Each structure stands twice: as C-alpha cells, then as structure tokens.
Amino acid sequence: MSYPKCRTGKLLRHKGYSSIDSTFKASRDSSSLAYNEGLAAKFLLCMTPLPVTQRSSLSDPSFSLLLKLGAGDQGTGWMTENVSAASVSNWLRLPYIEPSLLAVLLTVSVVVGGGGASEATPTQQSAQCRDLGVTRVGVVRVYQGEVGRLGCPIFHDLSVSSYSLFWYRVQPGQVLGQPVNLSLPGHRISAESEWLWFEPAVAEDAGRYVCALRNGTLCVKMGVRLEVLPRPSNVCVTEAAADPHHVKVPLEEDKTLHCPDIQEYRLSHKDPYVRWFHKCNVIPARHPDREVKKNTLTIYSMLEMYQGNYTCVVTYQSGGRELNFTRVITVRAVSSSRLNKTPIIYNPDRDQVYMVKLGAAARLDCRALVYDVEGDPRVWWEVDGRRLEQLADQRITNEDSYEEDDLLDRTMKTVLVIQKFSSPDLQREYTCHAQNSRGNATQRAKLKPQAHCAHTPSVQLGCGLGAVLVLVLILFVVYRVFRLELLLLYRAHCGPDASDTDGKEYDVYISYARNSEEEQFVLLTLRRVLENELGYKVFIFERDSLPGGTITDDTLSCLGRSRCLMVVLSPRYMVQGTQALLELKAGLDSMAQAGDLRVILVQYQPLARDGWVRELRRARLALAVVRWKGEKSSDVSSRFWKQLQLELPRALTVKDAHEEKWTMRKELLP
C-alpha cells in the first residue's frame, strides 16, 4: 500500500516503519508522553494536505480513525461521536492504547480539524464537550441529611495536570447542564480534586451530574447520577444507602472492622465519634468477644451469632457544623482457616462402581468439597489423561453445578455425560480431579456394564414382596381416610347390643347450660338428629322429668336410668351451683363407682382451660371430646356425627325405634 507524500514521510521511513499502524505500536511501547505526542502530531500533519474525499477513499484503518477523531466533513467543529481509549484501540486493531495518547490524539485532531472557537458560555462549553455518556459504575446513593460525594469517572483516565475539572447539573427534561452552584450558604456543595461534596445532601440534590475535563483544545465529559434516599428516624439503619461492604471472618478467629470511608472523608483533626450497632442493637464498649476501640470494632472470637449487618454511624465537626454519615458492613462466618482445607472427593469413592448400559447415555458424577471460593476452586474430569476440551469425541460433554453451606464452604459437581456408551469406552481411564488454593485431589472411577435381567426366583420373590407391600400401603391409606366409616360398619353388624340386658330406659342423658342458645342447639339439633335420624332414646330433664320431685333426687334417678351422659360444654356450663354442674358431678361419680354410665364431652363453644372445674380437668384425661364446628358439622354425614356415634352405645335402627314407640302407645291405650 502506498501512502501520500508529506513532511513526515521521510521520518517514518527513516524510523523503519512500514505502516501507520506500526507507528502507533511503537508509540504504545514508549513510556515518554512527549514521544507519543511527537508521533501523533507528525501522523496528523501528514494527513492535513489531503482533501476530505481523498482521505475517505483510503482503506487503511488509521486514516479512517482520523476522520472519526478530526473535524468532520466540513472541518468546522467537533463530531458528536463518543470516543474512548477502548474504541480507539479497536479502530487501530491494537490490544491497548495509553489514555495519554488518546488525549494527544484528541487534542491534535482539533488543531487539524479546524481551529479554535470563540469564547463560549459555560453551558455552551458543556455542549461542545465530547460526551462519553453515563458511567457504568451505577447510581450513587446517599441518605438525606448525611454527607455524600460524587467522583468524576474520567478523572484518572487523563493526565489532569493540564486540565481543569468542571461540574454541571442536568435538570430533568433538559439536555444541557448548568454549572453546579458552589456558593450556597455554608458551602454545602463544594468541589475538591475529583470529588463533588454534599455536606449534607438534601432531597433537591438528586439528579444527573456531569463532570467535564477541559484545557485549551480538549473537552471530555461523563455523567453520574445521584439518588438521595429518605433516612429513617432511627439512629441505626440495617441497610446502607451505598452498597454494603462484605467481610468474611473464620470461626473462632479475630477480626477488626473499620468503618468504611472514614479515612477518605474530610474529617477534622479531632477523632470523629463512631457508634457501632449489630442488627441495630448497640454494641457495648467492652464485651468478652467484641470490643469497640475508637473508630474500630474488634471481634476476638468469631461465632455464628455474630454474623449479620454491622452499622457504623460517624459524627464529626466541619466548619462549625455537625455532620454524619452511615455505613453498613455485612459479616459472614466461614469455616476456620486452621482446618486442613484440601479438597475432599465424595464421588467417586474407592468402593464405588458406576453401572453403565451399552448403547445408552452414561453419567459419571464427580463431586468434591473444595471449601474456599476466592482461590478459584475447580472440579473436572480427565479421560485417558486429557481434559474434555482436548478430546475430539463429540459424544463426551459435562454439566457443572455447585452448592454452598451456611459457612460458604462450596461443594462442586461435574457430571461426565457419554452418549451411546460402547465397549471400547470401558477400556478408557476416567479420573476425577479437584483443586483449590490449599492443594488438589484425584480419584479414578470404576465402570461396570449392566447385566441383562432374567426371570430368576429372586426376581419373582422381589416382585411378590413388592406387591404385598403395595397392597398393605393401600389398605393403610384406606383405613386412615375411612376409619370412622369402617368402625361404624363393623359395630353395626358385629358390635354388642346391651340394650336388652342392662335394664336402662334411655340411651342418652343430655346435660347443658340452661340458656336460650344452648337450649336451641340441644332441642333443635342434638335431639332431632339423635332421635329422628339415628334412633336413640334421649332424656332431657326439662322435657322428660315428672313434676313434684326435688331436682337432686330426680337428676340422680334419671342418670341411673341412662346408658351415657352427654355434656354440652360452653363457658356458661362451668358456673358453680347450677343444675348442669350437678349433673356432671353425679355422672362422673356414677362412672367412677359403678362403671355402668359413660360420659361423653361435646364442646359446643371454645373453653379456656383455666375455666374448667376440678372434676372436669381430671375426667378430661380419660374422656374423648367431640367438637362442634358450626355449619361444617350440621350435615348428618359430617365427621362430628360419626365421632359421636362411635362414643354413644349402639342404637336401634330408626325403623325399630318407631316400631317400639308404636308398641308402647298401643299398650298404654285401653
């Protein structure tokens, strides 16, 4: 390729450069900024005699670079394209280009491209800067009322000795930025070096800021965003506005925590006041395992209970004002560094044999405990001493995964997958490797082909036992689900019937608190279902007792003629001196002494245990309680009525009960 003749052509040939690219490669290897400036200047001066059309026709990438960095087609101003060191490096097909050389290229390109401009306002100067966009570092967050700062992302990319730094703020909905007001009362916003300080930050400070580096010929700018968060009223916060710092402390070892940014912030000569919190609980100055010393917190013996977020609130004086900021450190406990943390291979072990099937996919697990994460731990398979990436066999692949425990010890796993496993694959050597910063471990896998299954007696026996086990499991599930129904079915056909031999007249004596709600439940629900649906003979004192006798004598007499006492429990039932309590005590005494009376507890309304009388507390240990659940229990087929039938004695069928009533009526009629 022939280059156009220019004043620097001889110099380039004299230096032995065969192309423009080699010129820049040599400048990259030189540590002298002046040497880089000289080469760049000669390179650009070489291009100045060419018209734009002739320049654009050249195919060398170095010439197209000048068109990107220079004055544009008209030669009257900056182009709007963003340029960075990485993009220039890509254009020159170089792996790297010095930032100082980038600055020189940009500077000289302005000179070549078309001269200086008239003096502009700060807003116009910001618009003329080459915009590098918004930093990828992320949004800077700060709590309202606390000290915060913004850093210029490109401050260290250029040689700042010959540049001035300016800060602009871009209002919402606007493109151009206005200079940041640094003359607020108390100098609340100030600039120092590459930092823009907010002492303190207020809600109105949130938004997009732009830092611009400029000299007489160059201007580059980049944006950064500030977010001001409302701070909770509490002294301590569990989440910091800035990203939390993460610290790992080995168990039973010591660690000193330093409050982040305390050295970088502009503190006064007097030591700041630092308050430390653990999960927002104040840490005392002296503690057996933790101690606060000035600005630091020392953990003498790390325990798992000391994990979590540590908050430090820094308060200091500056310019006659009391300022503060908050930082959060997340502490995690890890396993002790005193342990031997060389990798441990779980699979394959020495006695493990992988069963493989010919013609199918084989999967071999390599699983190992590698402990640390920072030491770049690895787990991999080797086949015949070579890694998978070195094999030409496309049938062999791997699947990687890992898991971590509470102490961040990592267990890594890689699965070797061999598609269409064949007989020659059995002759190959498969080795599992594990490695971390403490050492490495290896284990060879043993493979064995699966035998074809035959119908041997042992297989038949296993199938028979399996069928029996499945049948037993099905019967167990059926019993658990239909237990009440099965018990009622058994009692209906095989259960004893004592109604003909015990001489009792009534099946159930119902005892309840005498008030409208309980009476309605007993008369309209219990009595109706027990007599009409289930065929029981029910005794209710107010309905069935004869007038003229004393309550005590009649109660004892009627209980003696009943097979069981049904107690309807409610908060009103436990009132001392009532007939309901008399019936309960008489029933419990009859059950304990004669044993011919059964007591059933029906909980109609919830009861507090402290409201139970002494007799009921004792009887509760041996008695079953059937709970009424409102509308869910109103249906006769509900679980409530089935449980109640199991507790009650066996009753006559509804047909038999009606026949017995009709017989009694005929006997009473003349």
Residues 417/362, Cβ–Cβ less than 8 Å: yes
User: Position of tokens 């600039």?
Assistant: 191
Residues 525/641, Cβ–Cβ less than 8 Å: no
What is the distance between the alpha carbons of residues 526 and 567, in angstroms, rounded to a whole number?
12
Identify the helix (H) or strand (E) that includes residue 309.
Answer: strand 308-318
Identify the helix (H) or strand (E) that includes residue 43.
Answer: helix 33-47
What is the distance between the alpha carbons of residues 354 and 348, in angstroms, rounded to a whole number?
9
Residues 327/314, Cβ–Cβ less than 8 Å: yes
For residue 442, give both structure tokens: 């290896």
Burial class of residue 21 (count of CB atoms within 10 Å of its CB; 0-12, 13-18, 19+)? middle
Q: At 152, is the secondary structure helix, strand, or coil?
A: coil
For residue 239, give both structure tokens: 């989440």
Q: What is the DSSP string of 470-528?
A: HHHHHHHHHHHHSHHHHHHHHHHHHS--GGGTS--SEEEEEE--SSHHHHHHIIIIIHH
Residues 179/191, Cβ–Cβ less than 8 Å: no
Residues 126/177, Cβ–Cβ less than 8 Å: yes
What is the Cα Rg of the chain in Å?
A: 46
Q: How many CB atoms lie within 10 A of CB 109?
A: 25
Give the helix ranges, DSSP H, for 511-638. 516-521, 527-528, 541-544, 551-560, 579-593, 614-620
Buried b (16+ CB within 10 A) or exposed e, 25-61: eebbeeeeeeebbebbbbbbebbeebeeeebeebeee
378, β-bridge pairs: 435
Phi-psi region of 53 (alpha: psi -120 to 50; beta: other; left: phi over 0): alpha
Residues annotated as catalytic are 583
Residues 420/356, Cβ–Cβ less than 8 Å: no
Q: Running DSSP on this structure, what letter comes out for residue 173? A: T
What is the distance between the alpha carbons of residues 111 and 70, in angstroms, rounded to a whole number?
9
